[in-house]
Structure 1
Amino acid sequence: MTRIGFLGLGIMGKAMALNLVKAGFEVTVWNRNPSKCADLVAQGAKQADSPKELAANCDISFAMVADPEAALAICLGPDGVAAGIGEGRGYVDMSTVDDSTSQAIAQAITEAGGRFLEAPVSGTKKPAEDGTLVILAAGDKSLYDDALPAFEVMGKMSPYLGEVGQGAKMKLVVNMIMGGMLSIFSEGMALGLKSGLDAQQLSDVLDAGAMANPMFKVKGPMLLAEDYSTSFPLKHMQKDLRLALALGDKLDLALPTAAITNEAFKQARKAGYADEDIAAVYKTVK
């Protein structure tokens, strides 16, 4: 049985690691706040004292952390993954980062003798719990093949996208579109309610037409109930929009709608909603 490591036990990582434990994998976990490992250890996981120790004792190590800074921090340095990876072992970073960060991590891992795969995911807390994420993998093909049994536990789809950077770009495009959809949905709901439309009828009409989609179906009731329980923190969506715009700058591509969406999410962060669900962008509209 492949020995699996998992670094980062936040909203997403904890659910993903737990599914691997329940599937019968031998799993070792690490988190910057060690207390977050307790639930996984109670379910049968082992606990490592550092990313280096985890990588040195696992065949494939997965990471799911918040942003490029955190992704670099757990990989580099004397106690980082690269210091422990060794010859032939694999490192799969499932965090949402920009392609430059992903390529820097790939270089550190390969120079240390390891194999690297980026594999950011599309999906939030519920898909992570249900094992129905979309996993966007790119990098070392042999590691992709070896990691596939774990991907099949964590997700419903895991296409191989080619060289390192392609997974990161795919994820940024997906989240940029999702942020834009949620922003205009919030404005539409606010306009409808303020003009006296019935909220349920508005939701039913949207759900019956060409704009019907799972996100509106999930986020609509959250807006109406003003329940912003976090499945995807608003601050992380704003970070992804910022990274998508930076990619557009690098490619000399104008993204005016994404830029406006980013400003809406920045306004929501400034208003104090950073740690609430992405649906909280509605609060700055209504």
Structure 2
Amino acid sequence: MDGTPRVGFIGLGHMGLAMAMNLANAGPLTVWNRSAGKAAALKRAGARVASSPDDLFASSDIVILMLTDGAAIDAVLDRFSSRFTARVSGRVIVHMGTTSPDYSLQLEKDTRTAGGGYVEAPVSGSRKPAEAGQLVAMLAGEPAAVAAARSCLTPMCKSSITCGAVPKALLMKLAVNILLLATVTGLVESLHFAQRGGLDLDQVIQVLAASQMASDISRLKAPKLVQGDFSAHATIADVLKNGRLIAEAARSRGIASPVLDVCRDLYEETVALGHGDLDMIAVVKVIEARTDHCREPSRDT
């Protein structure tokens, strides 16, 4: 790939819009989104809005996909038609969303067979780090494709770590997400326990901040929870999707995941209560409901 690669970006959702905005502010960018209205802010920032996926692929050397799942990726790539080869041949496809590792492995095979390059580049971080260009990318793929993709990541990511061959980047993402789920769920339960025990929650936050348990996550999430601010950085529904992917990957590889399984079940309950669009700290809704159930007087006579 000679000179500066032309970059295209597809998927302007919860994370993608912030990521694409950082790219647009850094240099030339072409974008496309199924809902055209989401591209308006990027157009104002100088990005070119493609008229169709074919237009975007034709004008891009590297195409970044930040899409919700495999079905959305397959649709954008037109993977099961003759247009798939035309869209990916001679280009590097960078998959930055979170799907199952096995799906990604097969997509890499199909892309390379069609004459394209393929890179897994899932990220660690939520909407706030995305807006600040402070995501952490995990990369997997053939070295030449990874090197090409890495050149586009700087405006979006504070660091990138090469994990080896596909699907090791997605396995890495799932591994670190176990700790994220356990950390946030534990923080929420800790503050719920403190609140129901009559403690001063501001003091609890002070103790956490001064202790070994302090982290960027606790500093961000604890005040949100105390203030009852459930505006989404990472939604319950998205976190649950990742929890299910982790469980699936664990089962297929014969790996025990007891902590993940408990957290996933709590998030399943939270979605069932209708809180899927709230921030992941809304898992407290289920913990509160369980507490209230435990405190109900017995109906036995």
Q: TM-score range by the shorter chain?
A: over 0.9
1:17 is aligned to 2:10: no
CA drift of 1:183 comes to 1.2
Q: Distance in 1 between matches of 2:184 and 2:74?
A: 30
Structure 2 residue aligned with 1:67 = 69
Structure 2 residue aligned with 1:283 = 285
Q: Distance in 2 between matches of 1:197 and 1:256?
A: 30
Contact 1:74 1:81 in 2 (8 A): no
**Alignment deviations for residues 11-32 of structure 1 (CA, whole Å, 9 cap, x no partner):** 21111111111112x2111112
Contact 2:74 2:80 in 1 (8 A): no
Contact 1:72 1:101 in 2 (8 A): no
Q: Which has the larger radius of gyration?
A: 2
Contact 1:51 1:81 in 2 (8 A): no
Structure 2 residue aligned with 1:172 = 174
Structure 1 residue aligned with 2:97 = 95
Structure 2 residue aligned with 1:182 = 184
**Alignment deviations for residues 243-263 of structure 1 (CA, whole Å, 9 cap, x no partner):** 111111111111111101000
Alignment map for 1:29-48 (pairs within 5 Å):
29-48=31-50
CA drift of 1:52 comes to 3.4
Paired amino acid for 2:35: N
From 4, 9, 20, the equivalent of 1:6 is: 9
Paired amino acid for 1:183: T
Structure 2 unaligned residues grouped into runs of 5+: 289-301
SS in 1 for 2:118: strand
CA drift of 1:41 comes to 1.4
Contact 1:77 1:83 in 2 (8 A): no
From 188, 210, 213, the equivalent of 1:211 is: 213
Query: In angstroms, what is the RMSD of aligned CA positions?
Result: 1.5
TM-score by length of 1: 0.95
CA drift of 1:149 comes to 2.5
Contact 1:52 1:81 in 2 (8 A): no
Change (3 A) 1:195 1:35: same
Structure 1 residue aligned with 2:243 = 241
Q: Distance in 2 between matches of 1:178 and 1:51?
A: 34
Contact 2:119 2:149 in 1 (8 A): no
1:264 is aligned to 2:251: no
From 112, 120, 124, the equivalent of 1:110 is: 112
Structure 2 residue aligned with 1:143 = 145
Identical-pair percentage: 34
SS in 1 for 2:164: coil
CA drift of 1:191 comes to 0.7
Q: Distance in 2 between matches of 1:17 and 1:123?
A: 15
Alignment map for 1:47-58 (pairs within 5 Å):
47-58=49-60
Structure 2 residue aligned with 1:119 = 121
From 225, 228, 231, the equivalent of 1:229 is: 231
**Alignment deviations for residues 212-254 of structure 1 (CA, whole Å, 9 cap, x no partner):** 1111111111111111111111101101111111111111111
SS in 2 for 1:15: helix
Contact 1:52 1:82 in 2 (8 A): no
Count of paired positions: 284
Structure 1 outlier segments of 4+, above 6 Å: none
Change (3 A) 1:258 1:65: same
Q: Distance in 2 between matches of 1:258 and 1:215?
A: 18
TM-score by length of 2: 0.90
